[in-house]
Amino acid sequence: MEQQLQELRELASCAGHQRTDTGIPRLAMVQGEIPEHRLSAVYEPMINLVLTGSKTMSVGEHSYHYDPATYFVMSVDLPAIGRVHADTQSAAPYLALSLTLQPELIAELLSSLPGRTFTERDQAAFAVAPVTPELLDAWLRLLRLMKRPEEIAALAPAYEREILFRVLQGPLGWMLRDIATPETHLARIYSVVGWLKANYMQPVRMEVLAEMAALSVSAFHRHFRAITALSPLQYQKRIRLMQARSLLATGKGNVTTVAFAVGYQSHTQFSREYARLFGVPPSQDALRLQRRGG
């Protein structure tokens, strides 16, 4: 597998310090140091493959560490705090690929597979698993298309389909199956998460959210926490605070205006909750982030 990883590193070596387009639909890459506020963000559903260095992802009370021997699957939009690390031996910068997930593509693939019954799981919608040579090979063929852009339209869908197939066959395949299968708890929570992400500034009522998921309030709350590692209100709060941090880091308003812009009614409450999540008051954090270049 080391030879496969080395070729992937060479192909992705042109990545920048932020999400970098590859020219291949849904496939992006990133390299090196990444600004803190971009790592504390709402991550979209994806398969993430680290090529060099390592990454730590924290969601709620859960924390995962993954390196070039593993891949990470996130099957719903989740507010998470990430940290990237250079390789401890060679000091080579962090380098990774990400493939954004689309439930429609997974559902289409599932419909073409031989009939199988799957057991629904009520587990967190993010986890790490060991990578396999077969999965790396599919990533390689997809990334090689960067050198042959005229072939992307014809071949990229087939290689993306193979990546999804390999993940479906692995230990995290249930996540992909559940978001693409109507009426599973994960698919129901997926739709509510999408609404919360788009409407994070609005007040929410548990009864309304539960109705969106076609669940009782108690069942909705239980499944939401199991899947996202957060309660619905904690989820909304994390989105607000991460959006606020992004605004402060780029100088788009002072603490008070940013607090109201993301949906808070109390400057004091905002400052208290911000410091609890990020470890420092928002005014102090804003200065530090802006000195580092936003």
In a shared domain, residues 232 and 167:
no
pLDDT (0 to 100) of residue 39: 86
33: domain range? 2-179
pLDDT (0 to 100) of residue 114: 72
CA triple 160-166-171, angle to 5 deg: 135
Choose the final residue of a domain: 179, 200, 216.
179
Q: At what angle do helices 217-228 and 232-249 cross, to 10 degrees?
A: 50
Q: Which residues of the chain have pLDDT under 50?
A: none
pTM score of the predicted model: 0.89
Which CATH number goes with the domain that contains 26? 2.60.120.280
In a shared domain, residues 57 and 165:
yes
In a shared domain, residues 38 and 164:
yes
In a shared domain, residues 42 and 157:
yes
Which CATH number goes with the domain that contains 259? 1.10.10.60
Tokens of 174: 């249930």
In a shared domain, residues 169 and 261:
no
Q: How far apart are CA 282 and CA 255, in angstroms?
A: 7
In a shared domain, residues 268 and 155:
no
pLDDT (0 to 100) of residue 293: 65
In a shared domain, residues 33 and 74:
yes
Burial of 264 (0-12, 13-18, 19+ CB in 10 A): buried
In a shared domain, residues 129 and 267:
no
Choose the final residue of a domain: 124, 159, 179.
179
In a shared domain, residues 85 and 191:
no
In a shared domain, residues 172 and 217:
no
pLDDT (0 to 100) of residue 115: 61
In a shared domain, residues 117 and 243:
no
Choose the final residue of a domain: 179, 208, 241.
179
Q: What is the pLDDT of residues 90-100, one digit of tens each?
A: 889 999 999 99
Burial of 64 (0-12, 13-18, 19+ CB in 10 A): middle
In a shared domain, residues 42 and 75:
yes
Q: State the total domains in the chain.
A: 2
pLDDT (0 to 100) of residue 121: 62
pLDDT (0 to 100) of residue 119: 60
pLDDT (0 to 100) of residue 294: 53
